[in-house]
Structure 1
Amino acid sequence: MVLSKRWQPLWKLVPKLVYDDEGYQNIVYGKFSRFVDRSLILHEAPIQALDFKLVQTSGAADIGIWTAIAVKRCVRELSIESSPSTTPVTLPRSLYTGCTTLVTLKLKSVTLVDVSSLPSFPTLKTLSLICVKYPGDEFVKSLLSNCHVLQDLEVERFDNDDVTVFTIVMPSLKSLHFIGDEEKDGEAGLVIDAPLVENMYIHNVVSGFSVIKNDMPKIVKARIVVSNSHPGTILGYITSVKRLRLCLFSTSKEVHPAGTDFQYLVNFHPIPDQTRPCWIEPSSIPECLLSSLETLKWEKYEGREE
């Protein structure tokens, strides 16, 4: 733009816009917001991707307007990241009632509000929810169940997200990444009904329960770290897994559900737990261990009696 005037209008045609206020120290309040307003109004081409990183308080009050503009401009990829220490960012209702073209949505440290109609993302395939605050259990269940073509889901919960039981009912889901190490009461938990999942990571150890409702015949790779008094509510539904990394904080003797067989398992790696109790003899052993085990690697034995 400095060397040639013909470059001056070309930014209006770029398909991806990134607004990041992190690098601006002591920014004049409102200056960043005015810059975003002007550039969005002047931009002429269809916006394929829009990315907001609001580390300071400069755009928290205006993110609703910017999101509404993105919806009207038929954006396909939208990312909104806020800092937990700044003014809470509340997203408008239009985000999950009018996005008919959105393919990727990534939200971090924002608040979702309830709507009278069902939230719907008919084209959404990738969804990331990091430290998001929700209107409640039913909203989460309705939101996810109405993402009919979603394939990749990432969730990281925090203590005050206003959800007790996080329910994931998604027939189209192929990849699930869930971290729920929040302090909740005994009724808190995770319920999964996603039969087409191929890759799964679950880390849910602080409190509550973790349950899988139906078999996952397509599962290939799983990493599971859970605190659960009945591990069979998970292990009994992933017997088709080929690669498994597992750590159970369990007080149950029935760790492996009787009558199930991990016949496709080719790689199993128990994740060390330094706080685990002494060894408890299980009442049943998986058939694959009895009939076809070839290699056993035991780390950190240290001569302990158990």
Structure 2
Amino acid sequence: MCYINELLDDLLVNILLLIPTKEVVATSLLSRRWRSVWKLVPKLDFRDYSYRYHDTSAAPSEFIDKFLERNTSPVLETFHLNLYHCRDYSPESVEKWVNVAVARNVVDLELIYCLFGVPIRFPTSLYTHETLVVLSLRGTFVEDVSSKTCLRSLKSLSLRFMRFYSEQTVDRFLSCFPVLETLVVRGWICVNVKTYSIRVPSLQSLDIEELVGGYTDPRYDHGYVIDAPRLKFLHIVDHYCGYCSLVNVPEKLEAEIHLRFCDSDKLLGSLTSARKLSLCLKPQMDSCLKGDFDQLVSLELCVMCSLDWLNIILKHSPKLRALRLSRTIHSCQNSRNVRTNWERPSCVPECLMSSLETVEWIAYEGTEEEENVVKYLLENGNLCFKKRWRRDIYGMFSYEILRLGPRSQASSGPQATVIPPLCTFEEKLGHKKLLL
């Protein structure tokens, strides 16, 4: 302990920044040297996950009040309140704490508020905050946005289970962030808002998730209009919305899209400049694409619903180098009637003969349809088997990871297109013994 006590305050503060606030305050009991060090820490990270406090413990609200009152750091850089059990926090107290953080030029603010679905109003002091760079909100209601509102420094925004007064409120709220680069959205289903317009010229990364358990009928009047000319990464998982419109899609975009119900042809038509695509997107009857994916080099398809896109996209992707077929964590395994039959195309796509280098199939089951796809790829592409193995899940279920790689001169020939038989249970067990 004596060696640590000899360290400078600045170094001790950097050490305390790595631990939760409750433990930071507890260090004041170590010795006289530590009594005031915690007051210099420019961070409050308070997380209330407990359902009940002991009678001897200070009330959570009292703890936060005392920390803000006694903390002497000139700038409160980080202010995180995760109030998952809100029986002890009034909306007035929460707004008071946020006002104190704003007055001390907070840079990173996180407000997680959960009270049985009842949101807290957006703190008005944030509307003109000049130094805020990172803002994360959960369980907040935005009713009115002043025309003078402008958060000039905010670059990262996370909105979870938010409520907005109207569609116009969403548009005005997002227009308050002139340099916003990253936007994360979770749980936006709301009666008052059906179309979420995300018009942010500076936006580079957009992550949207609206998950619905099982199979839920779509709301075709619920969807998104995304206008972000500088967007580099787009991730959308929505098992509920009926449409998604992309405006001013830039080149070299990386997109991961999982939408059960939308105009698939129209959506893909706006992604022809993308470099990387990951799709869980059910094709429509007589689906066709207008235009080519001239920049597409990497493609991932959900084998449950999107295998029919394989022929169509390969035909329109002359530069494709990597293909991945899989079942993603957000794929449509709970949907009804999504799988259709793959048909062997009459013409061989250009990319299969020239640019395609690797094919990876996750959750390969070796069905007749899947074997027909693999045979077609091997027969018409410059590919051969690279690796193939089976993994056990919970000792009962198993899946295949099938990899096809570039065909070398040594592996060229008729044997390169032969699909080896699946391992038997006894062979798999023997292989596991060898590994042990």
- SS in structure 2 of the partner of residue 251 of structure 1: coil
Deviates more, 1:99-108 or 1:296-305: 296-305
Query: What's the Cα RMSD here?
Result: 3.1
Aligned to 2:395: none
Counterpart contact for 2:145–2:172, Cα < 8 Å:
no
Question: In the aligned structure 1, how far is the partner of 2:188 from the partner of 2:304?
Answer: 23
Question: In the aligned structure 1, how far is the partner of 2:48 from the partner of 2:317?
Answer: 57
- SS in structure 1 of the partner of residue 136 of structure 2: strand
Partner amino acid, structure 2, of 1:302: T
What is the percentage of aligned positions where both structures have the same residue? 29
Aligned to 1:50: 79
Question: In the aligned structure 2, how far is the partner of 1:59 from the partner of 1:302?
Answer: 56
Instruction: Report which of the two structures shows the higher radius of gyration computed on alpha carbons.
Output: 2
Question: In the aligned structure 1, how far is the partner of 2:236 from the partner of 2:42?
Answer: 35
Aligned to 1:21: 48
Counterpart contact for 1:199–1:222, Cα < 8 Å:
yes
Aligned to 1:68: 99
Question: In the aligned structure 2, how far is the partner of 1:30 from the partner of 1:250?
Answer: 58
Q: Write out aligned runs for 1:1-306 (5 A).
A: 1-23=28-50, 25-26=52-53, 31-45=59-73, 46-57=75-86, 58-61=88-91, 62-85=93-116, 88-95=119-126, 97-160=127-190, 162-181=192-211, 185-219=219-253, 221-256=254-289, 258=290, 260-273=291-304, 285-288=315-318, 290-293=349-352, 294=356, 299-300=364-365, 302-304=367-369
Partner amino acid, structure 1, of 2:256: R
Counterpart contact for 2:106–2:132, Cα < 8 Å:
yes
Deviates more, 1:122-131 or 1:224-233: 224-233
Counterpart contact for 2:119–2:163, Cα < 8 Å:
no
Q: Do the aligned partners of residues 25 and 161 (structure 1) sit closer, same or farther apart at CA in structure 2, a change above 3 Å counting? A: farther
Deviates more, 1:295-304 or 1:154-163: 295-304
Partner amino acid, structure 2, of 1:4: S
Q: Do the aligned partners of residues 39 and 134 (structure 1) sit closer, same or farther apart at CA in structure 2, a change above 3 Å counting? A: same
Aligned-residue offset at 1:26: 4.1
What are the superposed Cα offsets for residues 36-68 of structure 1, whole Å, 9 maximum, x if unpaired? Answer: 122112222110010001011222431111111
Question: In the aligned structure 1, how far is the partner of 2:149 from the partner of 2:266?
Answer: 30
Q: Do the aligned partners of residues 87 and 203 (structure 1) sit closer, same or farther apart at CA in structure 2, a change above 3 Å counting? A: closer
Question: In the aligned structure 1, how far is the partner of 2:188 from the partner of 2:115?
Answer: 11
Partner amino acid, structure 2, of 1:9: S
Counterpart contact for 1:253–1:282, Cα < 8 Å:
no
Q: Do the aligned partners of residues 216 and 250 (structure 1) sit closer, same or farther apart at CA in structure 2, a change above 3 Å counting? A: same
Question: In the aligned structure 1, how far is the partner of 2:204 from the partner of 2:248?
Answer: 14
Scaled by the length of structure 1, what TM-score is found? 0.86
Aligned-residue offset at 1:2: 2.5
Counterpart contact for 2:156–2:182, Cα < 8 Å:
yes
Aligned-residue offset at 1:246: 0.6
Aligned-residue offset at 1:202: 0.8
Partner amino acid, structure 1, of 2:351: S
Q: Do the aligned partners of residues 33 and 250 (structure 1) sit closer, same or farther apart at CA in structure 2, a change above 3 Å counting? A: same
What are the superposed Cα offsets for residues 246-302 of structure 1, whole Å, 9 maximum, x if unpaired? Answer: 11134353352x1x222222221102336x798999699415272222355664562
- SS in structure 2 of the partner of residue 240 of structure 1: coil
Question: In the aligned structure 1, how far is the partner of 2:313 from the partner of 2:63?
Answer: 66
Partner amino acid, structure 2, of 1:51: H
Question: In the aligned structure 2, how far is the partner of 1:302 from the partner of 1:118?
Answer: 61
Aligned-residue offset at 1:130: 1.1
Scaled by the length of structure 2, what TM-score is found? 0.62
Question: In the aligned structure 1, how far is the partner of 2:246 from the partner of 2:159?
Answer: 20
Partner amino acid, structure 2, of 1:49: T
- SS in structure 2 of the partner of residue 203 of structure 1: strand
* Count of equivalent residues: 301
Aligned-residue offset at 1:161: 6.4
Aligned-residue offset at 1:214: 1.4
Q: Which has the higher helix share?
A: 2
Question: In the aligned structure 1, how far is the partner of 2:99 from the partner of 2:192?
Answer: 25
Question: In the aligned structure 2, how far is the partner of 1:116 from the partner of 1:283?
Answer: 46
Aligned-residue offset at 1:158: 4.2
Aligned-residue offset at 1:180: 2.9
Which segments of 5 or more consecutive residues in structure 2 lack a partner in the other structure? 1-27, 321-348, 373-436
What are the superposed Cα offsets for residues 218-255 of structure 1, whole Å, 9 maximum, x if unpaired? Answer: 41x22111134422433223323222111113435335
Partner amino acid, structure 2, of 1:163: V
Question: In the aligned structure 1, how far is the partner of 2:83 from the partner of 2:313?
Answer: 54
